[in-house]
Amino acid sequence: MEKEKKIERVPSGIRGFDELMEGGFPQGDTVLLTGTPGTAKSTFALQYIVQGALKYKQKGVYITLEEHDKDRLAARALRFGWDLPALEEAEKILIFTPELQPELGEDSLEWLEKSGAGKLIKEFDPQRIAVDSLTVLLAYAKDYGGERRIVENLVNSFRFNATTMFINERKISDLDKIDFQTEEFVSDGIIYLQFIRHGNLYRRGINIVKMRGTNHDTGVYPFRIEEGGGIIVHPSEKLF
């Protein structure tokens, strides 16, 4: 009988989180990181890239369509102790802040080729990629079919043998409803960040909605954000 091939894992770099999913993401998978505003999605994705470089010696690419000022991004990262310019200079990470062209509509993904980003990423040969955010690109879609084309093209554009994370924002009105549509069919994994109400207070919570090839926990666990440390998940304290 042929022995089952072991799935290679890519640690998230988020303290306490990998305990919930067999030690990390399956290598080469596409993961959707979704949640409502203010739930630290961008911090999570950037930490995934930075800790990959610092702790696991894996090169990473961070593409932000939300922040076009690299100095501001670097200043925010420094609060967590992450020196982005130094990591870029050491060729451990690449950061892209492309400007999209609204007139291209659903073809806005052409920036990947026109900017030369695709070629640079391929030559850099990263093990990790994070794209912040899918929401910006989906705004160019005229209908559901357009959303599907954008997502398919985006995922196909980032097949660099890396483990890729896409950010997607959910509306506040969707807080109590997980109803994934366009993004779900291309994602191997879905991580949901949310605010959980406790009396008059809200706590940040995280749960793994799905992760292919992984025996993962489906509970909601609290996490906090620390200056000098980033996101820390508490796997021993289950919210529900």
Predicted confidence at residue 188, as pLDDT, reads 92
Q: Which carries the bigger pLDDT value, residue 43 or residue 141?
A: 43
DSSP letter for each residue of 7-21:
PPEE--S-BTTGGGT
What is the CA angle 146-41-121, rounded to 5?
65
Average confidence (pLDDT) over 42-55: 98
Predicted confidence at residue 173, as pLDDT, reads 47
Q: What is the pLDDT of residues 126-153, one digit of tens each?
A: 999 999 977 777 776 666 667 777 777 7
Whole-number Å distance between alpha carbons of 138 and 143: 9
Tell me which of 30-39, 132-141, 206-215 is least confident. 132-141
Beta bridge partners of 96: 63
Backbone angles phi, psi at 202, to 5 degrees: -120, 140
- Asked if the model's pLDDT at residue 234 lies above 80, the reply is yes
Tell me which of 46-60, 113-127, 173-187 is least confident. 173-187
pTM of the model: 0.90
Beta bridge partners of 192: 34, 207
The secondary element (H helix, E strand) that includes residue 163 is: strand 163-169
Task: Indicate the class that CATH gives domain 9-233.
Answer: alpha beta
Predicted confidence at residue 97, as pLDDT, reads 86
- Asked if the model's pLDDT at residue 105 lies above 70, the reply is no
The answer to whether the beta carbons of residues 217 and 20 sit under 8 Å apart is yes
Backbone angles phi, psi at 238, to 5 degrees: -85, 130
Hey, is 67 helix, strand or coil?
Answer: coil
Predicted confidence at residue 211, as pLDDT, reads 96
Predicted confidence at residue 175, as pLDDT, reads 44
Predicted confidence at residue 1, as pLDDT, reads 44
Predicted confidence at residue 53, as pLDDT, reads 98
Name the pairing type of β-strands 9-10 and 25-26. Answer: antiparallel
The answer to whether the beta carbons of residues 138 and 147 sit under 8 Å apart is yes
Most confident of 114-123, 143-152, 212-221: 212-221
- Asked if the model's pLDDT at residue 172 lies above 60, the reply is no
Tell me which of 4-8, 119-123, 169-173, 224-228 is least confident. 169-173
- Asked if the model's pLDDT at residue 78 lies above 70, the reply is yes
- Asked if the model's pLDDT at residue 164 lies above 60, the reply is yes
- Asked if the model's pLDDT at residue 8 lies above 70, the reply is yes
